[in-house]
Structures are given as C-alpha cells and as structure tokens.
C-alpha cells in the first residue's frame, strides 16, 4: 500500500481514538500488525502528529489568591512558560493580561514549566506525576518541593479550565487558569483513493481470516478490527453502500488457498448492500470506481460460474434440473445485477448486460448445434424431430423461459433466430428431395407424403405463431409457406381420394333400419352423420393449416368447395340408387334418401364460406382472385344444387305416386256435383251443402299435407308440393265436368286455391288448371268487363309503338244532388294514321264517343255523341267539348270504359279507322288548379283481332248456352265482318276511286 495511504489510515485512527489513549495504543498495535509496519510505526505516528495538535490557553486570574475574588487579573513581567519536549525545549513569555496560547504538537512526553528567568541547562529535571482520583485537587494542592514546578501535559483534561497557583520563585507566585484545547487538522489528511481503500479492506479481512479458528471464514471482522475498519470509513465519510461494495469485491476475488470463504459471507454482504442502497450519495468520488471494480469482479465471477455449463444443452428444453443448479450459482450475481444504482449510471458497464450476453451466447451455441444436427437427418426423422421440438417448446419451455427472462433474454426468440437458417436449409432440401423422388402412381406413397407434409406444415405454423408472439424481427421461418408451393396440389388430390373412399363406406339404407325409430323427428339416413363428419374433416384440415399465402388460399379454397360438391354428388347418387331399388319400405327409404341429400347440400351451402376459409381469403387474396374463387364456388354449388334437386324431384315423384289413391279420391270428391253427392243419402240424412263438402275435402287434403310436412325437410316439402299439385291437377282434369255452371267451377277453384295455398305454391299464375278454373268461375258480365279491362291495360302497357293517337282534355266531377258522374272531354286533334293511304283514299275524319260494355251502358239509355267530320284532313282538329253522364255505381267499376272511335265518313257507310279506350276509373278528377288533364289516347287498328284474348275465347265457348255471351260474340263477329267487307270493297275499287279523285283535281 502507498505510504501516503498508510499515513492517512494512521492519522484517521489516531484522531478517531484519541479520547481513549489506552484503546488507541491497542488500535495502533493492531494497525501495525495488519499492515506489517511495526518497524516504522513510530515514524508514521510522528508524521501523523501534524494532523492533531494542542493549544494551551493561559490566562492570569489574580495574585496570591486562588479564586475569582483575588487581586486584579495581572501577571508579573518576564514570566515565561517553558515547553519541555523529549528533544527540545521551547519558551514563551506570558502576557501580563489576557490569554497566552502555547502551541503543542503532542501531549505525550511533554512537560510545562513556568519561571521568571530562562534556565541555561535547557533540560529540567523530570519527575513523575502520579495519577489520582481528582486531577484538579492534584494540581491545586500538590506539594511544592522546589521553587520550580513542572506540569505534565498528559494529565491536563481537554477543554476543561484548570486554575493553578504557580510559584515563580523569589517569593513570587501567580494564579493561572489553563485550558488545553485539541486542534483537529483532518482536512489536511490526504483522502484515500479507491485502490487504497480496497487494499485496506482486503488486508483487514485477510488478517481476520488468518487469525480465525474456524475452517471457513464467515466474513465478520472481530474486535478491535471491526472498530478500526468502520472508524476509518466513518472518518473519511465513505458511505456504507461503497463499504459493502468494497467488501463484496474482496469476497468475489477471494483466494481460497489461504482460507475458504463461507458462502454465507457473500449472502450477508449482498443483503446489507441492498439494504443501504437507497442512502447512497451518487456524487461520492469513490462510488464510481467502486462500481467499475465491482462490475469487473462480477464479470470474472460470471465467466467462472458459466464455464462448467458451456456444453449444456439449453435448447431444446429437456429438463429443468440443470436450471436449478445454474440458478443457485447465479443467485449472488443476480442480486448484484438488480441493484438500482446501475440505472443511475447508464453509460457505465454493468454485470447485468454481461451476464445476459454470456447466457445468450450459451443459448445460441446450443441452438446452433441443434440446427446442425437437423441438416443430417432423413426426411421422416426430420419431421418427427421438428414435431418433438414443437411439443417440447409447448410443454417444457416454461421454466427455461422464466429463467432466461429474468436476465432479459427471450428464450424462444433468441434460440429460433439462431436456428432459423439451419432449419430453413434442412426443410427445403428435404422437401425438394421428396418431390423429386415421390411416386405419383402409388396412392399409398402419395397419401403418406400428404400426411407427413401437412403435419410438418402445421408444426411450422405453430412454431411461427410462437415466434410471432414474441415480436421477433423478420426471419426465414416467416416465409415457410413458400416452401410448400408445389405441394398444395397433392394435399387437395389426397383429400378428394380419401374422402371419396370414406363416402363409399358410409352406412347404406339397407343397414339403416325403419323410420319408426326416429320418433317425432324427420327421418334421415343413419350414414348422414358420418358423411357430414367427412365434409367437416376437410374443412378442419384446411383450417388447421391457417394459410396466409394467396397461392395456397386460392387453390385450397376452390378445391375444398369442389371436393365437397363431388362428395355430395357421390353420396346423393348412392342414396338415390339405394332408394330406387324395390323394397317393402320404399316410401320410408325414399323419404330418408330425399332428406339425406337435401341435408347434405344445405350443410355445405350454409357453411361453405366458413369451410373454405373465405374470411381468410378476403383478408389475404387480391380482388381478382377473390372474385374468381367466389364465382367458381357459386358455380359449383349451383350445379350441385341442380343435380341434387333433380334427384330429389325424381325421388319425390315416386313418393307421390305411392299416394296416388289418396290424391285421386280427393280429386273425385272435388269434381263431383253437389246433386251427385246428395243422391246417395238416405231419407233421414241431411243434405250436405257445398261449403261443407269443400271443407271435408280440405280436411282430407290437410291431413295428407301435414303427414308429408312432418316427414320431409322444408325444401324437400316445397318440391313435393309441386308434384302433389301436378298429380292433383292430373286427377282433376280426368274427373272435371265440362259445360257446367260458373258456380261449379267456382267451388272447385276456391277449394283448389286453398289447397295450393296450404301447399305453399307461391306463383299460382303458372298453374294452368287454377287459371282455367278461375276464368270459368266468372259470370258472363264479369267476363265482358274483364275483356274491356284487358283492352285498356293493353293500350296503357304497350302503346303500340308509333301508333296514332287522339289528344283529349278530360276530367270528371261528381254532381251533388244526383249519384252521377259528369265527364268533361274535349277532343282536340289526331295524329296521322299510317295505315290509311291518303293519296288514294278520301278521308273525312270524325269521332264518336261511346260507353262500353253495352250491358252496363245500353244504347237506348246512353247517347254516343260525335264530332263534325273534318273533310280532306290528315291532321284533323275538332276542338269540340262534350259532357257524358255516368252512374256512380258504374263509374269506378273495372272494365267500364269510354271508347273514342275514329271514323272515315263515306257516302254509303262510315268506315271505322281506329278505336281507343279509357278506363273510367282512371279519368282524373277536376280541381281548381287543374280543371282538366291532357291525355294521348292510342288507337287500335280497325282490324285488331280478338283471337288471342282469353276472355273473348271464354265468351265464345260460353255463347252456345249463354244469351248474353252469344249476343256479345255475334256483335263482335258482325263488326269484324263489316270491316273486312269494307276493306275488300276499297281494294276492289281503289283504281276507280283514284281516277275520280285525279279528275276532280284536274277540273
């Protein structure tokens, strides 16, 4: 140790224990023994005297007396004080008044003498002074053996005023008050550097270890060594935290050859160090070097602790037993690493970072070795090893994760980053080799390859999910899906082959048992559950893969839908062939097969988006590919649905045939005449009314439908109703009677309408029989009204292209006192008529207004006003106003209409050119803001045919037995005959009429 440091330690001890000289001597002896300076101890102590001096303050208090009440406080002149040291003697004259200060370096072996003159011999005679109980009495009442009295400085108390009557000789004396004051010059003591303090601490503990009697040194200093050590630290104001750091560094580099250190010593120091950490002064000059040295010692200790674990297999995790050992070994170092003081010195190296880096190196080294071993494995062994790796990381990594996490190391992340490159090389090389060597014609090899690669894919997906959970940077494992780009197609092929075989092995209808066992449920084939599990299995396989690469998603999504549709077709074909075979329970087999096909189809239709991972496809695939997948899936499902519904329809048609007897009985009862139904009644029986008969028929039909509804699924039931309706229609057509009153058809129509409604047949207009019955149930009057209403609708709907039209202003008002409607109509003009040859025809247009039909508006009660002819005009403008009165009950009746008939006035007979119709209920009502409304009424050609009008045909059919219908048909027939006659006359005489017109022009 440096001499200056030893001097500082000696000075610190001298000052610290100066109050107890005896104890001080013990301390100094121990100091010389510890630091081995006995041979130069006195010189050290001599050097240290300058750091602690004394001052004797002398003040005269009177003469001769001994108290404060003596004579005036003065001192005779020429009174000297002599300081007698071992080697020298000093004198100093006392002030006659006031305080005289004598500077004394040390009290040991120093005497004091007073006199009037200075002695020449220099060294007075020394006499020993005996110590007694009262120093004050000893000084006051000491015997005066001579005139010169010598006072020992060592007997003076510190900071206590002592009065002494000093005999000066020659009969003179003086009463002096003396106070010995100690001067502490510790600020002059050089501060200890950390190296010196560290060496001092080591010396203390090494001496204590050498002199302890136990086999292990417990780190505790004995007395007075303990007092010395802490007194020095206190003297130099060294914080307890720095003190404990220094002790910790000494123990970390302890030499066990001298004496082994008890581990308890390190633990105790660590606890004390953590306890006093909060009180540390961060600005203390020794803290920084102490921490630096502590870091160096801790790092060396870390290297020493981790050396035995350099070949430890930290990855993959196997057992946590070795972790316990290393965790115990690093406990002390961990306590040092977690000290908060390291955070206050961010730029300073700390053992925590070093420990983390060393442990990370061990982990990465273990992962690298494991990766190198993967490169040497065969494909199947590699797959098994990666599977084991995943299982181990899932089940055994938690202790490892916790252990490394306490050192701020991501166990899985660090290992996987180091393993990433080796893992990538090993897997890609193995996959490429397997693709090159696989025998595509061997289904067993292909199936095994599919299972192995899918399992490998799932394992890598799980590894990636684990890696992503730790937010690691991009690595090659993130792109592992690209390694399987050429393998996906084999998976889809294997899915299809395996599932097709499994579908073929599902339970047949022959093994299904009777439908009675299903109770209240709709009967389903027993093999359906197995089939749905097969379908779900395909979806589960794809979902487990969790694709994110668009290539995989597009191929597998479309393939899953395609495979499911193919499986449905295969299962439906199997059920269809089994159900169509002759069997005593054919009805039950037909129902189960139908429901099985429908349920299989609905299962895929309702869940195909989930099965084919459409949500994931929408997330990762671009718009064009997504649209292609959707279109393909929709097309496949639509085609499969059509095929299944065709098979279901065939099955249901056979099922309905089994119910033909019931349907036939319903049809016969429905078509029977009321009189025929009552003819078989006895005399005491009441006649059955028409409504009761229909109600009975409906109840029978409802029972049949309810039985079928309970057996079939909703969509199958809906399809079956079509077959039941067709069968019922066929039977009705066989049994219906012709040329019956409208009431007969009306009853059948009403009953059939209720039956169709119960059968949930929505579009009743497509049912020809129902439409025919409905029309035949009309009265003749209703048919005529419907005929005219259809003409009005046809005009409003088609407008006949560029047909000519008549412009009118029309409105109606209700007369207040009469139940009559007044129609105000103003005929304005007419557009040219294309079918009139104006070059050869003489046209004199006029308009006649008529109310139709005539059964409501007879000609003898309702006038038909006409306009004036407009001679030789192709664009006539009449501008005439007419008023027509219509009964209120007829005005809003559908079919009641106003006909606007345009005629060409001829010499012999007026020729009808065209006719338009306005429904009376569509005439606008007059208002103050708009008295009339302008309308353009299209004109039907005069040769417009009624042959395509259904109401006209019904009236024509009814005319032989109905006078009203007969009159209507005859009127329409005469009109058409007259039109054809006029057209024939015009064609026959066209040239003559043209010459006459030309002659008139020339004239």
Proportion of the chain above pLDDT 70, given as a percent: 86
| Environment class of 945 (CB within 10 Å of its CB; exposed 0-12, middle 13-18, buried 19+) | exposed
Instruction: For 922-935, write each residue's pLDDT tens digit.
Output: 898 888 788 888 88
- The answer to whether residue 56 sits within a structural domain is no
Q: What is the pLDDT of residue 840?
A: 45
Instruction: For 835-860, write each residue's pLDDT tens digit.
Output: 555 444 567 889 999 999 988 898 88
* CB-based contacts of 609, cutoff 8 Å, min separation 6: 615
Q: Is the pLDDT of residue 868 over 60?
A: yes
Instruction: For 434-443, write each residue's pLDDT tens digit.
Output: 999 888 888 8
Residue 7, CB half-sphere, CA atoms under 13 Å: how many? Answer: 17
- As a whole number, mean pLDDT of residues 886-905 equals 89
Q: What is the pLDDT of residue 518?
A: 45
Q: Is the pLDDT of residue 527 over 50?
A: yes
Q: What is the pLDDT of residue 120?
A: 46
Distance (Å, whole) CA 528 – CA 517: 16
CA 996 to chain CA centroid, Å, is 95
750 and 811 fall within a common domain: no
- As a whole number, mean pLDDT of residues 950-964 equals 82
Q: What is the pLDDT of residue 765?
A: 46
- Greater confidence (319 vs 502) lies with 502
The alpha-carbon radius of gyration of the chain (Å, integer) is: 64
Q: Is the pLDDT of residue 551 over 90?
A: yes
* CB-based contacts of 575, cutoff 8 Å, min separation 6: 509, 525, 592, 593, 596, 597
3-state helix, strand, coil in the chain (%, to 5): 55, 15, 30
How high is the mean pLDDT of the chain? 82
703 and 639 fall within a common domain: no
- The answer to whether residue 261 sits within a structural domain is yes
Q: CATH code at 947?
A: 2.60.40.150
Q: What is the pLDDT of residue 692?
A: 78
Confidence tier at 1003 by pLDDT (50, 70, 90): very low
468 and 586 fall within a common domain: no
SS3 state at 808: strand
Q: Is the pLDDT of residue 990 over 60?
A: no
- As a whole number, mean pLDDT of residues 235-262 equals 89
460 and 412 fall within a common domain: yes
Window from 252-256, 541-545, 806-810, 925-929 with minimum mean pLDDT: 925-929
792 and 663 fall within a common domain: no
* CB-based contacts of 671, cutoff 8 Å, min separation 6: 732, 735, 736, 737, 748
Q: Is the pLDDT of residue 369 over 90?
A: yes
Strands 216-217 and 260-261, by their bridges, are parallel
Most confident range (mean pLDDT) of 219-228, 518-527, 798-807 is 219-228
Nearest to 166 by CA among 185, 197, 142, 182: 142
Q: Is the pLDDT of residue 421 over 80?
A: yes
- The answer to whether residue 483 sits within a structural domain is no
Q: What is the pLDDT of residue 366?
A: 92
Q: Is the pLDDT of residue 594 over 90?
A: yes
Instruction: For 671-684, write each residue's pLDDT tens digit.
Output: 886 555 545 544 44
Q: Is the pLDDT of residue 772 over 50?
A: yes
- For residue 905, the enclosing domain spans 780-990
- As a whole number, mean pLDDT of residues 346-375 equals 91
CB of 350 closer than 8 Å to CB of 337: yes
- Paired with 929 in beta bridges are none
Nearest to 240 by CA among 207, 284, 175: 284
Q: What is the pLDDT of residue 801?
A: 57
Supply the DSSP symbol for 896.
-
Confidence tier at 983 by pLDDT (50, 70, 90): low
553 to 290, 453, 489: CA distances (angstroms): 62, 17, 11
Distance (Å, whole) CA 153 – CA 161: 14
Window from 61-65, 175-179, 565-569, 735-739 with minimum mean pLDDT: 61-65
165 and 208 fall within a common domain: no
Q: Is the pLDDT of residue 387 over 90?
A: yes
* CB-based contacts of 733, cutoff 8 Å, min separation 6: 769
Place of tokens 């002790």: 247
637 and 610 fall within a common domain: yes
Confidence tier at 23 by pLDDT (50, 70, 90): confident
Q: Please name the residue ranges forming H helices in 546-622.
A: 550-580, 586-611, 614-620
Q: Is the pLDDT of residue 636 over 90?
A: yes
| 778's tokens | 């009309």
Distance (Å, whole) CA 886 – CA 775: 28
CB of 290 closer than 8 Å to CB of 365: no
- The answer to whether residue 37 sits within a structural domain is no
Q: CATH code at 532?
A: 1.10.357.50
- The answer to whether residue 188 sits within a structural domain is no
Instruction: For 617-633, write each residue's pLDDT tens digit.
Output: 999 999 999 999 999 99
299 and 401 fall within a common domain: no
| 606's tokens | 């309702």
Sign of the torsion angle spanned by Cα atoms 631, 633, 636, 640: negative
- The answer to whether residue 526 sits within a structural domain is yes
Instruction: For 273-295, write each residue's pLDDT tens digit.
Output: 888 888 888 888 998 999 999 99
Q: What is the pLDDT of residue 69?
A: 43
Confidence tier at 606 by pLDDT (50, 70, 90): very high
Sign of the torsion angle spanned by Cα atoms 391, 368, 434, 566: positive
Q: What is the pLDDT of residue 916?
A: 87
Long-range contacts formed by 412-415: CB under 8 A, 24+ apart: 412/466, 412/467, 412/470, 413/467, 413/470, 413/472, 414/360, 414/363, 414/364, 414/367, 415/314, 415/315, 415/316, 415/363, 415/364, 415/366, 415/367
- Paired with 848 in beta bridges are 866, 901
Q: Is the pLDDT of residue 997 over 50?
A: no
- The answer to whether residue 189 sits within a structural domain is no
Q: Does an H or E element contain 161, and which?
A: strand 161-169
152 to 109, 129, 137, 178, 585: CA distances (angstroms): 8, 7, 15, 13, 140
Q: What is the pLDDT of residue 948?
A: 75
Domain end, chosen from 440, 473, 506, is at 473
Tell me if the bond preceding 709 is cis, omega within 30° of 0: no
| 771's tokens | 């439409």
Q: What is the pLDDT of residue 167?
A: 80
Domain end, chosen from 358, 391, 411, is at 358
Instruction: For 132-166, write each residue's pLDDT tens digit.
Output: 333 333 333 444 444 467 888 878 888 888 888 88
Distance (Å, whole) CA 690 – CA 747: 8
CB of 40 closer than 8 Å to CB of 2: no
Q: What is the pLDDT of residue 520?
A: 44
Q: What is the pLDDT of residue 977?
A: 72
252 and 293 fall within a common domain: yes
Q: What is the pLDDT of residue 986?
A: 60
Distance (Å, whole) CA 16 – CA 1: 21
Q: What is the pLDDT of residue 991?
A: 54
pTM of this structure: 0.60
Per the document, the length of the chain is 1003
Q: What's the structural domain count of the chain?
A: 6
827 and 951 fall within a common domain: yes
Strand runs labelled E in 37-76: 52-62
CA 960 to chain CA centroid, Å, is 79
Domain end, chosen from 358, 376, 401, is at 358
Task: Write b or e for each residue in 393-414: b if 16 or more Cβ atoms lie within 10 A of its Cβ, otherwise e.
Answer: beeebebbbebbeebebbbbbb
CB of 867 closer than 8 Å to CB of 877: no
Q: What is the pLDDT of residue 374?
A: 93
What is the end-to-end Cα distance of the chain in Å, rounded?
Answer: 160
Q: What is the pLDDT of residue 515?
A: 45
Nearest to 479 by CA among 432, 435, 421: 421
Q: In which order are the strands placed within the sheet that holds 111-115?
A: 89-93, 80-84, 111-115, 150-152
- The answer to whether residue 6 sits within a structural domain is no
331 and 200 fall within a common domain: yes
Confidence tier at 982 by pLDDT (50, 70, 90): low
931 and 851 fall within a common domain: yes
């Amino acid at each position: 140790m440096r001499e200056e440091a030893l001097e500082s330690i000696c000075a610190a001890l001298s000052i610290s224990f100066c109050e107890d000289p005896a104890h001080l001597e013990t301390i100094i002896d121990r100091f010389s023994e510890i630091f081995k300076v006995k041979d130069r101890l006195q010189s050290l102590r001599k050097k240290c005297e300058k750091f602690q001096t004394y001052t004797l303050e002398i003040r005269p208090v009177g003469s001769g007396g001994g108290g404060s009440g003596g004579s005036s406080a003065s001192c005779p002149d020429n009174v000297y004080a002599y300081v007698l040291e071992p080697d020298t003697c000093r004198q100093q004259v006392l002030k006659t008044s006031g305080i005289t200060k004598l500077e004394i370096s040390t009290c040991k072996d120093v005497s004091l003498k007073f006199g009037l003159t200075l002695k020449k011999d220099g060294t007075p005679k020394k006499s020993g002074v005996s110590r007694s109980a009262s120093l004050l009495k000893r000084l006051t009442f000491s015997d005066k053996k001579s005139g010169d009295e010598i006072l020992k400085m060592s007997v003076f108390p510190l900071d206590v005023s002592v009065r002494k009557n000093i005999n000066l000789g020659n009969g003179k004396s003086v009463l002096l008050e003396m106070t010995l004051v100690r001067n502490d010059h510790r600020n002059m003591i050089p501060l200890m550097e950390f190296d010196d303090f560290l060496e001092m601490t080591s010396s203390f503990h090494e001496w204590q270890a050498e002199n302890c009697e136990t086999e292990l040194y417990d780190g505790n200093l004995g007395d007075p060594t303990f007092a010395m050590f802490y007194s020095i630290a206190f003297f130099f104001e060294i914080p307890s935290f720095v003190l404990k750091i220094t002790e910790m560094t000494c123990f970390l580099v302890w030499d066990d050859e001298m004496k082994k250190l008890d581990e308890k010593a390190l633990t105790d120091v660590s606890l004390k160090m953590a306890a006093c950490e909060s009180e540390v002064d961060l600005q203390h000059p020794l803290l920084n070097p102490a921490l630096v040295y502590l870091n160096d010692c801790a790092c060396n200790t870390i290297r020493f602790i981790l050396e035995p674990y350099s070949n430890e297999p930290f990855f993959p995790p196997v057992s946590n037993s070795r972790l316990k050992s290393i965790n115990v070994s690093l406990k002390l170092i961990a306590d040092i690493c977690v000290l908060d003081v390291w955070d206050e010195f961010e730029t300073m190296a700390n053992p925590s970072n070093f420990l983390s880096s060393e442990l990370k190196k061990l982990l990465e080294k273990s992962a690298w070795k494991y990766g190198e071993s993967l490169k040497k494995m065969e494909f199947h062994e590699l797959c098994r090893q990666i599977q084991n790796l995943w299982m181990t990381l899932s089940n055994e990594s938690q202790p490892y994760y916790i252990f490394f996490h306490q050192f701020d190391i991501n166990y899985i992340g660090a290992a996987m980053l180091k393993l990433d490159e080796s893992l990538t090389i090993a897997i890609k090389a193995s996959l490429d080799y397997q693709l090159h060597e696989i025998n595509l014609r061997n289904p067993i090899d292909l199936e095994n390859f599919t299972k192995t690669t899918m399992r490998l894919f799932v394992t890598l997906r799980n590894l990636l999910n684990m890696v992503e959970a730790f937010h690691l940077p991009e690595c090659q494992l993130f792109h592992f899906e690209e390694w399987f780009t050429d393998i996906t197609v084999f998976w889809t092929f294997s899915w299809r082959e395996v599932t097709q075989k499994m579908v073929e092995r599902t339970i047949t209808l022959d093994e299904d048992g009777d439908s009675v066992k299903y109770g209240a449920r709709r009967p389903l084939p027993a093999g359906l559950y197995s089939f749905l599990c097969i379908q779900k299995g395909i979806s589960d396989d794809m979902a487990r893969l969790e694709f994110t690469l668009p290539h995989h998603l597009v191929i597998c999504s479309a393939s899953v839908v395609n495979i499911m549709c193919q499986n449905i077709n295969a299962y439906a074909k199997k059920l269809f062939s089994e159900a169509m075979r002759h069997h005593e329970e054919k009805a039950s087999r037909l129902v189960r097969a139908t429901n099985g096909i429908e349920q299989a189809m609905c299962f895929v239709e309702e869940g195909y988006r989930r099965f084919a991972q459409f949500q994931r496809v929408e997330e990762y695939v671009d718009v064009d590919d997504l649209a292609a997948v959707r279109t393909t899936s929709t097309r496949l499902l639509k085609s499969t649905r059509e095929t299944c519904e065709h098979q279901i329809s065939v099955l249901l048609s056979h099922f309905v045939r089994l119910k033909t007897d019931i349907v036939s009985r319903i049809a016969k009862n429905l078509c029977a005449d009321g009189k025929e139904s009552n003819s078989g009644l006895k005399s005491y029986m009441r006649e059955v009314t028409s409504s009761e008969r229909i109600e009975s028929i409906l109840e029978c039909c409802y029972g049949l439908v309810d039985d079928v509804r309970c057996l079939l699924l909703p969509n199958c039931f809906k399809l079956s109703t079509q077959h039941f309706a067709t069968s019922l229609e066929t039977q009705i057509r066989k049994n219906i009677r012709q040329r019956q009153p409208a009431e007969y058809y009306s009853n059948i129509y009403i009953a059939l309408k209720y039956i169709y409604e119960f059968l949930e047949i929505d579009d009743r207009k497509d049912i020809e029989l129902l439409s025919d019955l409905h029309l035949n149930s009309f009265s003749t009057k209703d048919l005529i009204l419907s005929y005219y209403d259809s003409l009005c609708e046809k005009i409003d709907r088609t407008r006949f292209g560029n047909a000519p039209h008549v412009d009118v202003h029309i409105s109606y008002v209700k007369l207040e006192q009469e139940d009559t409607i007044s129609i105000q109509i103003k005929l304005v003009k007419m557009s040219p008529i294309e079918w009139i040859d104006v070059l050869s025809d003489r046209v004199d247009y006029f308009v006649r207004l008529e109310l139709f039909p005539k059964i409501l508006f007879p000609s003898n009660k309702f006038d038909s006003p006409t306009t004036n002819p407009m001679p030789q005009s192709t664009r006539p403008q009449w501008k005439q106003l007419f008023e027509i009165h219509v009964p209120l009950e007829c005005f809003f009746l559908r079919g009641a209409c106003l006909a606007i008939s345009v005629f060409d006035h001829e010499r012999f007979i007026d020729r009808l050119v065209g006719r338009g119709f306005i429904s009376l209920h569509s005439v606008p009502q007059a208002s103050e803001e708009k008295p009339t409304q302008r309308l353009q009424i299209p004109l039907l050609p005069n040769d417009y045919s009624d042959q395509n009008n259904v109401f006209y045909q019904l009236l024509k059919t009814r005319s032989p037995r109905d006078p009203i219908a007969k009159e209507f048909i005859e009127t329409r027939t005469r009109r058409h005959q007259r039109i054809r006659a006029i057209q024939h006359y015009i064609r026959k005489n066209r040239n003559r009429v043209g010459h006459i017109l030309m002659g008139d022009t020339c004239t």
